[in-house]
Structure 1
Amino acid sequence: MEQDRKNDLLEEIMIEHGTDLVQLAFSYVKDKETAKDMVQNTFIKCYENLDYFRYDSSIKTWLYRITINQCKDHLRSWHYRKVQTKEAFESALKSLFPLTEDSVIQAAESEEMKDLIFSLPKNYREVIYLYYYKSLSQNEIAEVTNLNLNTIKSRLRRGKQRLKILLEEAGIYG
């Protein structure tokens, strides 16, 4: 592919899909800057492999797959596990001390919902997020996650069931 055409195509891809990919990455890594790094890595891989893309799937699902793989690799990394252990320890220490009234702020309903979704196990959170927030079909989710369609259907059903229970417990649904 001609270099100028490749650069123009990458720029179009970045403009069209950048925000969605950052949101997708955030749903995995739960840190805005890390999510941006994951997406930057996605675009680098996209650029490097654009000549080999066969259009068996859409660019969107290809980018989602790359981003998800980037995030999963990050979450398996030694550095991430070390940081998570440190944060868990610090959080445990903070919970030993009483919170002041000023630090307790009532969350907006949308924030509560997001927190409830993020509290789901990763396999349910992933399909719920892709289905409801990214409006991917079950077939697209299967393609992006490289999982069987029936697995996606059952995870979506079970994720909804768990989310309904969490919503009832939080008094949002009822």
Structure 2
Amino acid sequence: MDREEKDFILEKLMIDYGNELVRLAFTYVKDAEIAKDMVQNTFIKCYKSLDSFRFDAQIKTWLYRITINECKDYLKSWNYKMVHVKSFINETAKSILPSTEKTVLDKYKNEEIKDTIFSLPKVYREVVYLYYYNSLTTEEIANVLDVSVNTVKTRLRRAKQRLESMIEEAEVNE
């Protein structure tokens, strides 16, 4: 396949599937700009591998698989985890204006909950974070963490149990 042919095919694929792939990527990464980056990476990989594509499967399915793998790799990356942890910490640690007593107490309680969540073992902390703060489904979390859906459900249940007992214990000690 010559370069002109590959360029033509890639352009057609981008027109036909670009928006669809961005929506797919967005369901994983929950950020429009990052989703576009993931799709751009998909098309780069597609272009590089177009000569070896055997057309055993539909090209759409192949593009979906590449996009999903790109998103999973991104979600597993250290950079992604650090960016999200930092933004989570920044959001919860922003200083509050002393407006009312309730606002101050709510902020204090949120800080305590955040600290409690961060004290959980990593396997529980990551599912809590992905489920409650990233709003991923248990299926998406299973894909991201490369574990079964039942494992995710078990970890969520155990994390909730630990959090409940830790919060109750903190309230008793107050």
TM-score by length of 1: 0.57
Report the equivalent of 2:139. Answer: 123
Report the equivalent of 2:4. Answer: 4
| 2: CA distance, partners of 1:23 / 1:86 | 26
Q: Structure 1 pair 37/5, CA: closer, same or farther in 2 (3 Å)?
A: same
SS at structure 1 position matched to 2:37: helix
Write out the 4+ residue segments of structure 1 that deviate beyond 3 Å after TM superposition.
94-98, 124-127
> Which structure 2 residues correspond to residues 1-174 of structure 1 after superposition, within 5 A?
1-94=1-94, 98=103, 119-123=135-139
Q: What is the Cα deviation at residue 125 of structure 1?
A: 7.9
| 2: CA distance, partners of 1:69 / 1:121 | 17
| 2: CA distance, partners of 1:7 / 1:56 | 21
What per-residue deviation string (whole Å, max 9, x for no partner) do you get for residues 139-169 of structure 1?
A: xxxxxxxxxxxx9xx99xx9xxxxxxxxxxx
| 1: CA distance, partners of 2:32 / 2:39 | 11
| 2: CA distance, partners of 1:120 / 1:74 | 15
Say whether the 8 Å CA contact 2:28–2:140 is kept in structure 1: no
Q: What is the Cα deviation at residue 92 of structure 1?
A: 2.0
Report the equivalent of 1:107. Answer: none
Larger relative contact order (Cα-Cα within 8 Å, sequence gap ≥ 6): 1
Q: What is the Cα deviation at residue 20 of structure 1?
A: 0.6
Larger Rg: 2
Which runs of 5 or more residues in structure 1 are unaligned?
Answer: 99-115, 128-150, 159-174
Q: How many correspondences in the alignment?
A: 115
Which runs of 5 or more residues in structure 2 are unaligned?
Answer: 98-102, 104-131, 154-174
Q: What is the Cα deviation at residue 93 of structure 1?
A: 2.6
